Amino acid sequence: MADGLRPVPSALSEARGQYDFRPLKQVEAVHPRDTGWRFGLLAVISVMVFFAYGDPTLLWWFAVFLASSGLHFAVVHNLPDHGSYRLLALPLGSLMLSGCVYLFAGLYLWASPDVVFKLMSLFLLVVTGLNALVRRSHHRPLLLADMGLIAVGIGARISILWLEAPWQTDTLALSTVLVVVGAYFLQVALDVAAMRARLDIARRTEAARERQKAMSQFTGGVAHDFNNLLTAVLGNVELARLSEAPGERDELMDEAERAARRGAELTGRLLVLSSVARLSPEPVRSEQLLASLDGAARSMLPAGGARLAIDAPAELPQVCVDPGRFETAMLELVGNAAAAMPPEGGEIVIHCRESTSRGVRYVRFEVRDTGRGIAPEIQARVFDPYFTTHPVGQGSGLGLATVRGFVEQSGGRIELDSAPGQGTTLRIDLPVFAQA
């Protein structure tokens, strides 16, 4: 067995002895565009044969094929995300049933003396091979099932040839071509499967390396911040204990209290980052959120620097959000936009509008600036905790990370669009409040 066809490490959870069915469910799920053209093509062939030759056999076959395919989709849909390896027999069985029904059409056409029917049969065989190569080459059990059906189809076609015209030159030539093409396609499918398996392993290894790097950066940043705060608290308390002047002791204790409060604030930001902070969401109109933001946002801009414009249509629906946390998140975005401005200044635009994605209505809040933009190689990291593009000593590296945590905890999503020299746009989508 080729090494490249072994299941990738995440497919089988050895610790729990369970199979990960999520990749299989993703591959075998109903994809309207892909499924539509395949079933449409088979329907056209069935109808053409009926009207051209008056043969209704393929019409009945198509109905049975739809039923068997529906059964396969239902079996796959009802699989758990993780379960016993033996459950894999269910989708494989339904796939083999659907494949055998599909195989019947090809053999029925091949058994006809009409050349057009034989060409249609070969076309169906090619479609089967391409479908296996494109959709199932990274899932070994499904690929082997398809390869088995293709081998049976080729063998059955060769048998029909020899029953009709044994030891004829055409029979020998066509049989040889079918065997060679089938063997070549099998080798290509196995090579592609092996290559995909290697790519999957490399991608997962790289993702694990990036997660480890982000975790190291995060834990190092948290340890550094708390170490500084504890040093300030303990140092001032120790100095206050040694001081004999009441005024000096009070000043030292005040400094220790301020450091402790900064620690509490840091803890709150970490809770927001982990999406477990205590929020107080309430229905509020989108334009009211931005109206309350106006004064605070303008006060953050340097004099004679960036210009701020807020566009909030009055007819937008309500969103359910914590107003205080929302204002903090938006001010963080405005502050980052102002810091990205060139010395001659620029423009920051806050705009909101309604949008729809996958049937869900959102209110989209955009913060768009004309600053220097973000380089493509670091865009994927700007939401990582303790990652900052500011000079040393400026910025905690938690700003965008806490914004993302707040947005996700509020049921929304955040996106970034930027290019060097063309500015940056950050979009926050919050679900529309559904009134009871």
| pLDDT score recorded for residue 249 | 79
Q: Note the pLDDT tens digit of each residue in 180-192.
A: 888 888 888 788 8
CA distances from 139 to 32, 183, 387 (A): 21, 20, 37
CA distances from 64 to 58, 71, 77, 99, 259 (A): 10, 11, 20, 12, 74
Report the SS3 class of residue 382. coil
| pLDDT score recorded for residue 403 | 84
| pLDDT score recorded for residue 17 | 57
Which pair of structure tokens corresponds to residue 120?
């249609």
Q: What share of the chain is helix, strand, coil (3-state, %, to 5)?
A: 65, 15, 25
Query: Cα–Cα distance between 186 and 143 in angstroms, integer?
Result: 10
| pLDDT score recorded for residue 13 | 43
Question: Are 132 and 95 within 8 A, CB to CB?
Answer: no
| pLDDT score recorded for residue 222 | 67
Look-up of token digits 């109206």: 291
Which pair of structure tokens corresponds to residue 244?
């004999």
Residue-range domain boundaries for the chain:
3-210, 216-273, 282-431
| pLDDT score recorded for residue 240 | 80
Exposure string for 291-330, b = 16+ CB within 10 A, e = fewer = ebbeeebeebbeeeebebebebeeebbbbbbbeebbbbbb
Exposure string for 331-345, b = 16+ CB within 10 A, e = fewer = bbbbebbbbbbeeee
Please say if the pLDDT value at position 382 is more than 50.
Answer: yes
Q: Note the pLDDT tens digit of each residue in 18-77.
A: 788 888 888 777 777 777 788 888 888 888 888 888 888 889 999 999 999 889 889 988
Question: Are 424 and 418 within 8 A, CB to CB?
Answer: yes
Which pair of structure tokens corresponds to residue 205?
């290894």
Q: Note the pLDDT tens digit of each residue in 164-180.
A: 888 888 889 888 988 98
Question: Are 102 and 125 within 8 A, CB to CB?
Answer: no
Please say if the pLDDT value at position 276 is more than 60.
Answer: no
Query: Cα–Cα distance between 94 and 99 in angstroms, integer?
Result: 8
| Highest mean pLDDT: which range of 53-57, 200-204, 259-263, 276-280 | 53-57
Query: Cα–Cα distance between 152 and 144 in angstroms, integer?
Result: 12
What mean pLDDT, rounded, does the chain reach?
80
Q: In sequence order, what are the residues at sequence separation of 6 or more whose Cβ sits closer than 8 angstroms to the Cβ of residue 337?
A: 306, 348, 367, 369, 371, 424
Q: In sequence order, what are the residues at sequence separation of 6 or more whose Cβ sits closer than 8 angstroms to the Cβ of residue 421?
A: 372, 373
Residue 273 pLDDT level (bands cut at 50, 70, 90): low
- Name the residue type at position 196: R
Q: Which of 258, 255, 353 has its CA nearest to residue 310?
A: 353
| pLDDT score recorded for residue 60 | 92
Query: Cα–Cα distance between 380 and 400 in angstroms, integer?
Result: 12
- Name the residue type at position 135: R
Please say if the pLDDT value at position 10 is more than 50.
Answer: no
Question: Are 406 and 325 within 8 A, CB to CB?
Answer: yes
Paired with 363 in beta bridges are 354, 430
Which pair of structure tokens corresponds to residue 329?
């998140």
DSSP code string of 276-309: -S----EEEEHHHHHHHHHHHHHHTSPTTS-EEE
Query: Cα–Cα distance between 364 and 360 in angstroms, integer?
Result: 12
Which pair of structure tokens corresponds to residue 145?
């099932």
Residue 376 pLDDT level (bands cut at 50, 70, 90): confident
Cβ neighbours around 9 below 10 Å, total: 12
Please say if the pLDDT value at position 399 is more than 50.
Answer: yes
CATH class of the region 282-431 = alpha beta
| pLDDT score recorded for residue 63 | 92
Please say if the pLDDT value at position 113 is more than 50.
Answer: yes
Q: Note the pLDDT tens digit of each residue in 210-244.
A: 666 666 666 666 676 777 777 888 888 888 888 77
Longest dimension (CA), the chain: 115
Please say if the pLDDT value at position 12 is more than 70.
Answer: no
Residue bearing the bigger pLDDT, 329 or 18: 329
Give this prediction's pTM: 0.51
Residue 337 pLDDT level (bands cut at 50, 70, 90): confident
Q: Which of 125, 240, 232, 109 has its CA nearest to residue 179?
A: 125
CA 328 to chain centre: 28
- Report how far apart the first and last C-alpha atoms of the chain are (Å, whole number): 59
Q: Note the pLDDT tens digit of each residue in 22-32.
A: 888 887 777 77
Which range (109-118, 222-231, 350-359, 399-408) has the least confidence?
222-231
Alpha helices (H) in 243-285, listed in sequence order: 246-273
Q: What integer is the mean pLDDT of 282-289?
A: 86
Q: What percent of the chain has pLDDT over 70?
A: 85
